[in-house]
């Protein structure tokens, strides 16, 4: 028998079928016949339901994409009921795990939790420009030398031009040189789902050529817009797949949605249906979505990594297959699910896994319905709770002694807030007049909801001149009536020294409210699992999986807002726009509070803020970052020494446009220096 990641020459299936890795949980293992039961807890087996789920994950702008860029049912594919496990977790998070806005990695789930340990991550300033991330066979990045586990074995296979392998590296067969052999391999492997349908990964152009999956959309040098190239490539890929998948269809497989970089297959026997996703690695770039690319740049491509950040798979097929297997096993071990076709779907799969566990155990919050925004009179344009974007012209005090430009941001801000906040669910109650105002007064503060208030004019308040107004909807010269979340209601009532306006509830003139009957930390365990996985990645210098986790929680939270992403019945509970708005508001208020503290302690004020990052002019040796390394705390994102030319640009700047140009020039060599900033959701 050859050693792991060596091929055997002929296509020959072992006499015994694959078995699920011994460490895998029973949560997603199908019955012995490898099919899903057709009951209330199982995934629907009708073709139209499959198509609805598979097409539900496209952005509105991408809905007309000819290659159906997101065709996944992903998370609901593994809902087969399993016997209750003996270990049932209490889902209540120990309050000691959260110290203000500091989130510790070892946050306990029971009241008997021990001491907490903060996330041990250093601010990572080397992500995009990582000089070791170049897939150099002689000097591979650290993560490519980490061992591959067995947790994804039995749930996924990897196909290369040389042969097929388990994720842990056990060789199975020689080359898969026809679609008929692919069908034979899938049926023999009897893979079981794990938070997502079982997966066959086709790695390398050579493996695609053996299957007849060859496209020639042209070169990126021939087009002005990468989107046009991706559209053309996606169209060609869909056409090629339709022309070559006939043997699979003749063998009883059905397509769920249009085939593209992921081919979603289902096979029904009687009342049962099994599902397998064939992921074509060389063509993942054809997918157009904010998860994968942005502004004509191929960015993070899910578990495969990011070419621009240097975390994509190695160039050669076998090293690429080995590294992919390691990442699949890592995901199965630390998240308990296979990676979805997008990072957002991976985040959703983890939510659904926790939902099933809580349903079986009867412990913890289970949200089964969407949380659509209720009808609002005078609804604000755009986001309910916008992220802040603001710049000011520095004055002589700011420039005095300044020799550095430093950007700080909150470490994994959205993940920190997601695990801390109590979110509302259920059918909200509409209140007006005195009833609405009275509802905001409670022993534990205002309940989760939306509140129609009047923001006073900024200039009528004693607010610091060198910070943006406390709420993005606030105007300097006139009051504004608007809707805000409970998070902002609390923030506005905070003292000015803590970032608020020191308002009483009566000052805000609450005239209307939508209040939710139930609330709790619905995402506590989800955030805990991601925090612990992130800590593992940080402790092992595994930047590839750390970045992947970032795209998972950012992608999932960002897509809570769009109901078109979650149209399938089994996915509608992921539509939670008020949760997203509350998370954004929480991060915004936390950043403002920190800015006030920095002003008190260092007499330094920001010249710019975007989302959760703040830019300061500092003297040499000044350190304004938080000492704590916990999530939600401020870490240094970028730190550059100002040349005389750059310092002159700040000194002579006449307006915010010139300041923004100077900041851009100063950070030009640090475009992607860190991945802590959350960006725009």
Residues 6+ apart with CB under 8 A from 71: 54, 55, 57, 256, 257, 258, 259, 260, 262, 264, 341
| pLDDT (0 to 100) of residue 382 | 81
Cβ neighbours around 184 below 10 Å, total? 17
Specify the 3-state DSSP secondary structure of 391: strand
| Residue 240 reports pLDDT greater than 70 | yes
Helix (H) or strand (E) holding 430: strand 429-432
| pLDDT (0 to 100) of residue 271 | 85
Query: Which tokens hold the place of 256?
Result: 């769920």
Specify the 3-state DSSP secondary structure of 405: strand
| pLDDT (0 to 100) of residue 269 | 86
| Residue 152 reports pLDDT greater than 50 | yes
CB 557 within 8 A of CB 680: no
Residues 6+ apart with CB under 8 A from 518: 424, 425, 426
Strands (E), 47-189: 98-99, 102-103, 156-159, 164-165, 171-173
Helix (H) or strand (E) holding 199: strand 198-202
CB 672 within 8 A of CB 308: yes
How far apart CA 213 and CA 243 sit, in angstroms, is 9
Average pLDDT over residues 320-338: 97
| Residue 370 reports pLDDT greater than 90 | yes
CA 435 to chain centre: 38
Query: What sign for the dihedral angle of Cα 287, 291, 295, 298?
Result: negative
The model's confidence at residue 153, banded by pLDDT at 50, 70 and 90, is very high
Q: What is the pLDDT of residues 76-119, one digit of tens each?
A: 333 333 333 333 333 333 333 333 444 443 333 333 333 333 33
| Residue 419 reports pLDDT greater than 90 | yes
The model's confidence at residue 127, banded by pLDDT at 50, 70 and 90, is very low
Shortest CA distance to 98 belongs to which of 567, 524, 507, 666? 524
| Residue 75 reports pLDDT greater than 60 | no
How far apart CA 552 and CA 567 sit, in angstroms, is 20
CB 650 within 8 A of CB 394: yes
- Residue 389 β-bridge partners: 610
Give me the torsion for CA of 644, 645, 647, 652, rounded to 10°. Answer: 130
Query: Which tokens hold the place of 267?
Result: 């096979």
673 vs 404 pLDDT, higher one: 404
Q: What is the pLDDT of residues 349-368, one digit of tens each?
A: 999 999 999 999 999 999 99
How far apart CA 232 and CA 230 sit, in angstroms, is 5
Task: Name the phi and psi angles at 309, rounded to 5.
Answer: -95, -5
Strands 102-103 and 98-99: antiparallel
Average pLDDT over residues 389-408: 96
CA angle 166/167/168 to nearest 5° reads 90
The model's confidence at residue 137, banded by pLDDT at 50, 70 and 90, is low
How far apart CA 558 and CA 448 sit, in angstroms, is 20
Window from 45-54, 339-348, 644-653, 668-677 with minimum mean pLDDT: 45-54
- Residue 254 β-bridge partners: 266
CB 209 within 8 A of CB 40: no
CB 281 within 8 A of CB 304: yes
Q: What is the pLDDT of residues 36-68, one digit of tens each?
A: 233 333 333 333 333 333 434 433 333 333 333
Alpha-carbon distance values, 586 to 420, 487, 503, 529 (Å): 10, 6, 18, 21
| pLDDT (0 to 100) of residue 92 | 39
| Residue 25 reports pLDDT greater than 70 | no
286 vs 303 pLDDT, higher one: 303
Task: Name the phi and psi angles at 210, rounded to 5.
Answer: -60, -30
């Amino acid at each position: 028998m050859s050693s792991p990641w060596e091929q055997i020459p002929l296509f020959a299936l072992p006499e015994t079928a694959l078995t699920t890795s011994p460490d895998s949980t029973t949560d997603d293992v199908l019955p012995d016949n490898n099919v899903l039961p057709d009951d209330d807890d199982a995934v629907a087996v009708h073709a139209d339901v499959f198509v609805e789920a598979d097409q539900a994950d496209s952005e509105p702008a991408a809905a007309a994409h000819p290659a159906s860029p997101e065709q996944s049912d992903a998370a609901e594919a593994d809902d087969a009921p399993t016997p209750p496990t003996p270990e049932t977790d209490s889902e209540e998070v120990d309050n000691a795990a959260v110290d203000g806005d500091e989130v510790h990695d070892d946050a306990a789930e029971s009241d008997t939790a021990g001491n907490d340990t903060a996330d041990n991550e250093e601010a990572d300033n080397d992500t995009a420009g990582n000089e070791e991330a170049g897939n150099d066979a002689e000097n591979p990045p650290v993560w490519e030398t980490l061992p591959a586990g067995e947790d994804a074995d039995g749930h996924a296979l990897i196909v290369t031009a040389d042969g097929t392998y388990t994720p842990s590296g056990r060789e199975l067969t020689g080359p898969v040189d026809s679609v008929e052999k692919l069908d034979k391999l899938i049926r023999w492997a009897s893979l079981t789902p794990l938070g997502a349908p079982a997966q066959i990964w086709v790695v390398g152009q050579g493996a695609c050529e053996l299957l007849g999956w060859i496209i020639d959309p042209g070169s990126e040098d021939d087009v002005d817009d990468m989107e046009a190239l991706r559209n053309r490539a996606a169209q060609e890929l869909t056409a090629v797949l339709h022309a070559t998948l006939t043997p699979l269809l003749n063998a009883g497989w059905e397509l769920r949605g249009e085939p593209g970089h992921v081919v979603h297959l289902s096979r029904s026997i009687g009342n049962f249906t099994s599902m397998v996703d064939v992921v074509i690695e060389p063509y993942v770039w054809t997918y157009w979505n904010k998860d994968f690319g942005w502004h004509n740049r191929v960015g993070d491509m899910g578990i495969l990594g990011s070419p621009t950040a240097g975390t994509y798979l190695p160039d050669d097929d076998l090293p690429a297959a080995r590294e992919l297997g390691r990442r699949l096993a890592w995901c199965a071990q630390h998240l308990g699910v296979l990676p979805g076709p997008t990072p957002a779907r991976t985040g959703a799969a983890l939510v659904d896994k926790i939902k099933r566990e809580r349903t079986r155990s009867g412990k913890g919050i289970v949200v089964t319905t969407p949380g659509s925004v209720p009808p609002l009179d005078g609804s604000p344009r755009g986001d309910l709770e916008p992220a802040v974007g603001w710049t000011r012209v520095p004055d002589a005090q700011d420039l005095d002694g300044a020799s550095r430009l430093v950007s700080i941001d909150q470490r994994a801000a959205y993940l920190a807030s997601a695990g801390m906040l109590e979110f509302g669910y259920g059918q909200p109650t509409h209140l007006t007049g005195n009833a609405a105002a009275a509802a905001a007064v409670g022993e534990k503060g205002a309940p989760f909801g939306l509140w129609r208030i009047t923001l006073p004019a900024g200039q009528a308040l004693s607010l610091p001149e060198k910070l943006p107004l406390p709420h993005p909807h606030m105007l300097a010269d006139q009051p504004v009536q608007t809707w805000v979340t409970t998070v902002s209601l609390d923030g506005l009532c905070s003292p000015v020294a803590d970032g608020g306006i020191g308002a009483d509830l009566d000052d805000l003139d609450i005239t209307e409210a939508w209040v939710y009957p139930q609330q709790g930390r619905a995402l506590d365990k989800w955030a805990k699992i991601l925090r612990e996985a992130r800590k593992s990645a940080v402790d092992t210098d595994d930047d590839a999986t750390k970045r992947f986790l970032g795209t998972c929680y950012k992608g999932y939270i960002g897509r809570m807002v769009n109901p078109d992403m979650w149209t399938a019945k089994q996915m509608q509970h992921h539509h939670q726009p008020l949760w997203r708005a509350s998370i954004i508001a929480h991060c915004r208020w936390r950043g403002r509070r920190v800015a006030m503290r920095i002003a008190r302690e260092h007499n330094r004020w920001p010249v710019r803020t975007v989302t959760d990052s703040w830019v300061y002019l500092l003297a040499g040796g000044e350190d304004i970052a938080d000492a704590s390394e916990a999530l939600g705390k401020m870490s240094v994102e970028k730190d550059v020494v100002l040349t005389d030319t750059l310092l002159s640009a700040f000194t002579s700047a006449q307006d915010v446009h010139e300041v923004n140009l100077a900041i851009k020039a100063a950070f030009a060599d640090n475009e992607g220096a860190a991945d802590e900033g959350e960006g725009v959701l």
